[in-house]
């Protein structure tokens, strides 16, 4: 039986946007299947998401994951498997989902654009590893970022850290792209930001359709990057091969 939907609202570019299904009902997990669905540019978190400490979260996850393994028929008395529930719990909280905690958000310092550099700056081929929120299997690929200074510049490593922060949470690639772009616009106080993500999804290659060649590309173009000439210049830089 289909469940009645509660309409979700968010803000995009300062406007209220309703993100409900067109027929007024929430789709079931079976109906969603392998479809890519994003309900908000914000990662869906409960109000009490940070009520438990990291240690308490790891203890609960360890217990639940042990039960999953036992349900699958695995023998946790085996030397190879005995520590797996604890390792998975620590990995979830301290590593691959650490971007859920705002306390782990990178501290960003800006600098005056003393060189008066007024062209685009491009940071490309940023490697990231994330996880699909529909099946909890890896998404991995490259992020390509660009911005045009509005009087301030950001340290290059901070661009990488922003990508990694938003990657380390259950994700949908469309949301991931938007979160990076909006964060850059907010930090740099400019609309002139571009983001391209190209990634492989193990929910496509290792299960379901099992297409190991498919690559997903998403993009965001803000401000001057909506102009064709600026956008094409960005794309040209991404395609260039460095001489290293």
Q: Rounded to an integer, what distance in angstroms lies between the CA atom of residue 179 and that of residue 218?
A: 12
| Annotation marks residue 201 as catalytic | yes
* Identified catalytic residue from 62, 171, 185, 203: 203
* Identified catalytic residue from 36, 86, 123, 135: 135
| Annotation marks residue 144 as catalytic | no
| Annotation marks residue 36 as catalytic | no
For the CA atoms of 57, 84, 162, 54, the dihedral, rounded to the nearest 10 degrees, stands at 20
* Identified catalytic residue from 144, 164, 171, 173: 173
* Identified catalytic residue from 27, 36, 86, 133: 133
Strand 120-132 relative to strand 138-148: parallel, antiparallel, unpaired? antiparallel
| Annotation marks residue 132 as catalytic | yes
* Identified catalytic residue from 132, 164, 171, 179: 132
| Annotation marks residue 135 as catalytic | yes
| Annotation marks residue 64 as catalytic | no
* Identified catalytic residue from 134, 144, 164, 185: 134
* Identified catalytic residue from 62, 144, 179, 201: 201
The residues carrying an active-site annotation are 132-135, 173, 201, 203
């Amino acid at each position: 039986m289909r469940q009645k939907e509660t309409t979700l609202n968010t803000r995009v570019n300062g406007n209220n946007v309703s993100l409900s299904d067109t027929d007024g009902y929430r789709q079931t997990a079976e109906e969603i299947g392998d479809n890519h669905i994003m309900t908000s540019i914000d990662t869906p978190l409960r109000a009490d998401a940070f009520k438990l400490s990291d240690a308490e979260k790891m203890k609960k996850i360890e217990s639940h994951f042990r039960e999953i393994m036992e349900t699958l028929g695995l023998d946790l008395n085996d030397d190879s498997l005995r520590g797996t529930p604890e390792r998975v719990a620590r990995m979830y909280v301290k590593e691959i989902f650490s971007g859920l905690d705002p306390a782990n958000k990178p501290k960003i310092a800006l600098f005056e654009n003393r060189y008066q550099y007024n062209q685009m700056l491009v940071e490309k081929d940023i490697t990231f590893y994330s996880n699909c929120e529909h099946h909890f299997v890896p998404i991995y690929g490259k992020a390509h970022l660009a911005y045009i200074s509005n009087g301030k510049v950001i340290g290059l490593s901070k661009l990488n850290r922003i990508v990694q922060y938003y990657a380390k949470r259950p994700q949908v690639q469309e949301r991931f792209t938007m979160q990076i772009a909006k964060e850059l616009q907010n930090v740099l106080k400019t609309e002139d930001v571009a983001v391209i993500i190209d990634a492989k999804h193990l929910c496509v290659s290792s299960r379901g359709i099992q297409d190991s060649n498919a690559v997903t590309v998403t993009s965001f173009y803000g401000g001057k990057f909506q102009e064709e000439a600026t956008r094409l210049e960005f794309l040209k830089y991404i395609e260039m091969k460095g001489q290293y």
